[in-house]
Amino acid sequence: MEPVHACDLSAVAELSAAISEVPSERRLAMVGRGWGALCTGDAVLDTQTSQLQAVAPEQVQLVDLQTALMDAWDWNQVCPGGPLALSMATKLDPAAGRAHLWKACELQRTVAFTEAEWTSAKGPIVIPLLAWRVLTEGGADNAAARPVVRALAGL
């Protein structure tokens, strides 16, 4: 069976390297601009990440949560807790919601961040997890995927 996602590994490596050159507050927008060139088979993520750099900071959470609705199948693949986990997370304060997702989505499986980093991050919660799946399924190694996913999470 052919993989659903295919990534341009040199583009992933180039964006990963460039991320370290900009201040952390500009990284989310940078990945939003660069995501579309990284991988195929991720139309919803392409659309949603491009919006991250175009919306006001207070609208980022809305774009993020829309992503889980627009790509519910992928969200269920990324998070075994599914829509219920996300619904619960949005009812809690941000740190507690992220902690809930850490457990419900079994995020220890990723190597993009530690539990402490994830719970203290201030960025999106859906998009980075979907991006991790796309990048790793698309052939990117953890070292190249990690900076991109961390930037999407607000780290």
Scanning the structure block, which residue is given the tokens 């693949």?
A: 77
pLDDT score for 61:
92
For residue 1, being part of any structural domain is answered with: no
Scanning the structure block, which residue is given the tokens 């807790």?
A: 81
**Contact partners, residue 118, CB within 8 Å, separation at least 6:** 98, 101, 102, 107, 153
For residue 117, being part of any structural domain is answered with: yes
When divided into structural domains, the chain yields a total of 1
Give pTM, 2 decimals. 0.93
pLDDT of 131 over the 90 cut: yes
For residue 28, being part of any structural domain is answered with: yes
Comparing CA positions, the residue from 52, 40, 14 lying closest to residue 128 is: 52
pLDDT score for 3:
52
pLDDT tens across 78-89, in order? 999 999 999 999
Q: The domain containing residue 63 runs over which residues?
A: 6-152
pLDDT of 38 over the 50 cut: yes
- Band (pLDDT 50/70/90 cuts) for residue 111 is confident
